[in-house]
Amino acid sequence: MRIIIYTGKGGVGKTSVAAATALRSARMGYRTIAMSTDAAHSLSDSLEVPLSGDIRNIEENLDAIEVDVVHELETRWKEVQKYVSDFLQFQGLGEVNAKEMTVWPGMELMSALFYVWDFYDKKMYDVVILDTAPTAETLRLLSFPEMSDWYFDKLYKVFKNALKLARATVGKFMKTPLPSDEVMKDIEKIRDRLRSVKEILTDPTVTSVRLVVNPERMVINETKRAFTYLCLYDLTVECLVVNRLMPQCSDGYFKDKLTEQDCYMGIINESFSPLTILTATQMPTELVGKKSLEALADMIFGTTDPTMIYTVEKPMEIYEENGSSILSLKLPFSTKEEVELYKTEDTLIVQVGHYKRSVSLPYSLMKKETKKAEFKGGRLLITFGGVDQDGGEGG
């Protein structure tokens, strides 16, 4: 299965590009689904077909869905939702308000990720196209499996053991409802599925991210940051789609704008090379409907396969060199001063700006100390060596 994730700054045309890709993919014979994970859904407007939390067929080989949190509550997390609702009612909220409050932050993210897992596990589609929210929300979506895995690993066992103790002691006398075994099983299913999704998202032969950008300074700068943070979470960015380019002309105002556009295209080519760069000229009409989307797909992909893989370069690698172990992490547009590193016994924590990743170290690196960290060719190289914890000599 092929999973293509489109993201970028709000307003750059992600939905149109995603819908055009899905339409072209389906018409080439691939079983395709376009899925919107943006709370402000506009995929239905682009396709000119009303969509909901249920999968809808658009045409032969093409389905679409807009993730709906309320629908997910009623189908995926009945036990969890019931417990949280009962608990809130016990605290004094009415039944209606309690049900509304069961929509906790992050549920949209989990819903979207679980759809990815379902499609992959059941082999329902050849191609899944994700139309995502603006950059910051997408980073939350794609980093969610990584962060949740850390919390489950560190805190879930403690919580589960404490709950067993509470049931056997104070739980016999208190009226506040405690989570049932069914609730705990639901939570464990969430944990297991998120771990599976993490493996799917970080496999470059299956999943890749395409950044949509306009030739504007603010958009380019945000795209650079997004590229950095996506690499931080071990997600492969395979290409850039430069959308809404002005057509070539030479009249007055537009001549000056074209000069400005050429300048920004030079910055894009220099900054993101050797990343594959696809382009689309500004459409003369509003980009809605299949006819317009087909024309947009022609501009972006020409006669090539829109699902092709442009690169399988992994953002994170571990290898041996000159007797030392090196963890290499791709962090474009970053400097050593912007990166903070912390190492615990089994985890390396890497922070870039406001984003932090906890990298679970293999056993061979747990025993070694970090010797140095340096930047080379847009990659952060962390060298491990020194004395092993068991007394042997490291690299």
Residue 392, pLDDT score = 43
Residue 92, pLDDT score = 45
Residues 21 and 4: their CA atoms lie apart, in Å, by 9
Bridge-based pairing state of the strands 207-213 and 2-7: parallel
* Residue-by-residue pLDDT tens, the chain, 395 positions: 999 999 999 889 999 999 999 999 999 999 999 999 877 778 999 999 999 888 999 999 999 999 877 666 666 655 445 544 444 444 444 444 434 444 454 566 667 888 888 899 999 999 999 998 776 666 776 666 666 666 566 655 655 666 565 555 644 445 555 556 666 676 777 777 778 888 899 999 999 999 999 999 999 999 999 999 889 888 999 999 999 998 877 566 678 888 899 999 999 999 998 999 999 988 766 678 899 999 999 999 999 999 999 999 999 998 898 888 999 999 999 888 889 988 887 788 899 988 888 887 888 888 788 888 888 888 999 998 865 444 444 43
Phi/psi at 52 (nearest 5 deg)? Answer: -150, -160
Residue 169, pLDDT score = 60
**Alpha helices in 4-77, H assignment, sequence order:** 14-27, 43-47, 69-75
Q: Are 310 and 27 in contact (CB under 8 A)?
A: no
* Exposure string for 282-320, b = 16+ CB within 10 A, e = fewer: ebeeebeebebbebbbebbbeeeebbeebeeebbbebee
Residues 209 and 164: their CA atoms lie apart, in Å, by 42
234: left (phi over 0), alpha (psi -120 to 50) or beta: left
Residue 347, pLDDT score = 83
4: nearest Cα among 27, 33, 29 = 33
CATH topology of domain 2-70+106-148+194-301: Rossmann fold (3.40.50)
Level-2 CATH architecture, domain 316-385: Sandwich (2.60)
Q: Are 206 and 1 in contact (CB under 8 A)?
A: yes
Question: With 0-12 CB in 10 A as exposed, 13-18 as middle and 19+ as buried, what is 7?
Answer: buried
Phi/psi at 277 (nearest 5 deg)? Answer: -120, 120
| CA 48 to mean position of chain CA atoms | 26
Residues 93 and 235: their CA atoms lie apart, in Å, by 41
Q: Are 46 and 36 in contact (CB under 8 A)?
A: no
Domain boundaries, the chain: 2-70+106-148+194-301, 316-385
- Structure tokens given for 59: 């045409």
Beta carbons within 8 Å of 225's beta carbon, 6+ residues apart: 135, 333, 353
Q: Are 234 and 316 in contact (CB under 8 A)?
A: yes
Bridge-based pairing state of the strands 127-131 and 62-66: unpaired
